[in-house]
């Protein structure tokens, strides 16, 4: 049998069609999304229609993974009130600070929700809506996440139709753990926090189990509960305890699967749940592959040209150090920050050094994330590097020098969509048809891990030291300016 996995990311929808038994990819397709920090969910639906055309109708089960934290605001009729505010939107920075203080400070947030909310979290968007758009706040009945909304729509209409389902939207504990009003440790919603943020009660999706069948498409395909994009990637990679995954895509992430929940009072590590019943402590950055794209554009080249330039320059970029907070930053929590290029001289301001500084900056930012996980007791036995930027020869070569450990790079694949497909296969194994045939299980199907290469390099702590000095000096300057 065949199963389909959907990855609805910030930039596009990807669909993979796989064999349920071993995850072998049979076909795949993609369709773009509009750029920006908010989006009408109908664009996701249209992109799913385009990418899923000829694929979804072959699947016996479908799973959806999507970008975390996005606020899809629905009225009582299930209609979308306003464009969804996405994870990368920084408008709720003041409301984030208000909410952290109101609940009792970072330690109390970490105790109750496993995380200190960053500006990307859904709960901050609720407060912003209450303050900035009171009429929409009054119309609001229910908030769902992007993957919830797409799964809900698939349970009633084929992609491309405008029909709305009567069934209650469903989510999973992985994506729910990024809202800021859910307890990963207890597996329960925290409605008092959502009420405090909005000023009145708001409905949440029903919480489903990791392998639960939550519905069927009009074609009869089983629908799994879906999950967030990072949880989907972890499932697609088949990571185990001891792995730290670093992803360099639209956002940057560093995360690990653990058996125990995390609660970091500093706010650096988000104590998320995963898609299997365990936990996924995670550090996320706003600035990742886009830093490389913009640097390449500035230098009049493309990704391959930037890689060549960076590899031609020496370690340390001739003394150039870039702080890559081009769009504010989430880790560390500096939504109002800007980028800084330091150490410029007439001798070192070359295209090669600038390219190298950009690559080193993105990797240093994520190395900080690995360090944040280590502060929570998570020591990597290996670093697994994924995301679009992991295809860059410069990133692959420089990463082990910056991280200080060997780096494993799996072959390029749509791991979020593969994780969604693996979850769909798991749900299919729990369905009535499979149960009567004697299949099923309490763990995801055992799909083989992806082919991978391992890269090594002499550690260069001097690069991280210089980056850390710039990071901390810039933070101190901003603090003095606020005072």
List the domain range (segments joined by +) for residue 177.
2-238+415-425
Q: Is the pLDDT of residue 113 over 90?
A: yes
Q: Is residue 442 part of a domain?
A: no
133-144 pLDDT, tens digit each:
999 999 999 999
Please report the pLDDT score of residue 438 as a whole number. 41
Q: Is residue 171 part of a domain?
A: yes
Q: How many CB atoms lie within 10 A of CB 260?
A: 12
CATH number of the domain enclosing 40: 3.30.420.40
Kindly state the percentage of the chain with pLDDT values over 70.
96
Q: Is the pLDDT of residue 149 over 70?
A: yes
392-415 pLDDT, tens digit each:
999 999 999 999 999 999 999 999
Kindly state the percentage of the chain with pLDDT values over 90.
86
As annotated, the active-site residues are 229
Provide the 3-class DSSP secondary structure of residue 132: helix
Among residues 424, 398, 435, 478, the alpha carbon closest in space to that of 172 is found at 424
Q: Is residue 8 part of a domain?
A: yes
Q: Is residue 337 part of a domain?
A: no
Q: Is there a contact between 316 and 328 (Cβ–Cβ < 8 Å)?
A: no
Please report the pLDDT score of residue 439 as a whole number. 47
Q: Is residue 389 part of a domain?
A: no
245-294 pLDDT, tens digit each:
999 988 899 999 999 999 999 999 999 999 999 999 999 998 999 999 99
Chain mean pLDDT for the chain: 94
Please report the pLDDT score of residue 440 as a whole number. 53
Q: Is residue 343 part of a domain?
A: no
Confidence of residue 150 (pLDDT cuts 50, 70, 90): very high
Please report the pLDDT score of residue 69 as a whole number. 96
- DSSP at 62: E
Q: Is residue 142 part of a domain?
A: yes
Write phi, then psi, for 346 (nearest 5 degrees): -65, -20
Q: 180 or 379: which carries more pLDDT confidence? A: 180
Q: Is residue 345 part of a domain?
A: no
Domains in the chain: how many in total?
1
Please report the pLDDT score of residue 358 as a whole number. 98
State the DSSP string of 450-468: PPEEEE-----HHHHHHHH
Confidence of residue 477 (pLDDT cuts 50, 70, 90): confident
Please report the pLDDT score of residue 436 as a whole number. 44
Confidence of residue 381 (pLDDT cuts 50, 70, 90): confident
Q: Is there a contact between 256 and 280 (Cβ–Cβ < 8 Å)?
A: yes
Please report the pLDDT score of residue 437 as a whole number. 42
- DSSP at 449: P
């Amino acid at each position: 049998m065949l199963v389909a996995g959907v990855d609805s990311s910030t930039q596009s929808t990807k669909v993979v069609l796989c064999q349920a038994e071993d995850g072998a990819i049979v076909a795949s397709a993609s369709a773009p999304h509009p750029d920006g920090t908010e989006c009408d969910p109908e664009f996701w639906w249209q992109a799913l229609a385009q990418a899923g055309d000829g694929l979804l109708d072959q699947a016996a089960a479908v799973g959806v993974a999507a970008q975390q934290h996005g606020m899809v605001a629905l009225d009582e009729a299930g209609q979308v009130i306003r464009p969804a505010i996405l994870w990368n939107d920084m408008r709720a920075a003041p409301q984030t600070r208000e909410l952290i203080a109101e609940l009792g400070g970072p330690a109390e947030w970490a105790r109750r929700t496993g995380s200190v909310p960053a500006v990307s979290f859904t709960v901050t968007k609720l407060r912003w809506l209450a303050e900035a758009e009171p009429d929409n706040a009054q119309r609001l009945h229910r908030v769902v996440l992007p993957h919830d909304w797409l799964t809900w729509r698939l349970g009633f209409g084929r992609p491309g139709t405008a029909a709305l389902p009567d069934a209650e939207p469903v989510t999973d504990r992985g994506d729910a753990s990024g809202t800021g009003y859910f307890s990963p440790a207890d597996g329960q919603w925290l409605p008092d926090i959502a009420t405090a943020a909005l000023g009145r009660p708001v409905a949440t999706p029903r919480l489903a189990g990791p392998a639960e069948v939550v519905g069927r498409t009009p074609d009869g395909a089983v629908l799994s509960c879906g999950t967030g994009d990072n949880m989907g990637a972890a499932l697609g990679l088949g990571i185990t305890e001891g792995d730290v995954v670093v992803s360099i895509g639209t956002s940057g992430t560093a995360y690990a699967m653990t058996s125990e929940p995390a609660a970091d009072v500093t706010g650096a590590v988000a104590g998320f749940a995963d898609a299997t019943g365990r936990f996924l402590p995670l550090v996320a950055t706003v600035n990742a592959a886009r830093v490389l794209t913009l640097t390449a554009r500035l230098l009049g080249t493309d990704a391959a040209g930037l890689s060549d330039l960076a590899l031609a320059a020496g370690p340390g970029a001739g003394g150039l150090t870039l702080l890559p907070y081009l769009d504010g930053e989430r880790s560390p929590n500096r939504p109002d920050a800007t980028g800084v290029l330091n150490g410029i001289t007439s001798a070192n301001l070359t295209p090669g050094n600038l390219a190298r500084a950009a690559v080193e900056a993105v990797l240093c930012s994520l190395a900080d994330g690995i360090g944040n996980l280590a502060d929570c007791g998570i020591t990597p036995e290996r670093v697994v590097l994924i995301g679009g930027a992991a295809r860059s020869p410069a990133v692959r070569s420089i990463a082990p020098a910056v991280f200080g450990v060997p780096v494993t790079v799996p072959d390029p694949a749509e791991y979020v969509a593969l994780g969604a497909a693996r979850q769909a296969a798991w749900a299919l194994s729990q369905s009535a048809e499979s149960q009567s045939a004697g299949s099923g299980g309490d763990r995801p199907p055992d799909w083989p891990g992806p082919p991978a290469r391992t890269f090594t390099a002499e550690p260069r702590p001097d690069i991280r030291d210089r980056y850390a000095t710039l990071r901390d000096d810039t933070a101190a300057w901003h603090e003095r300016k606020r005072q």
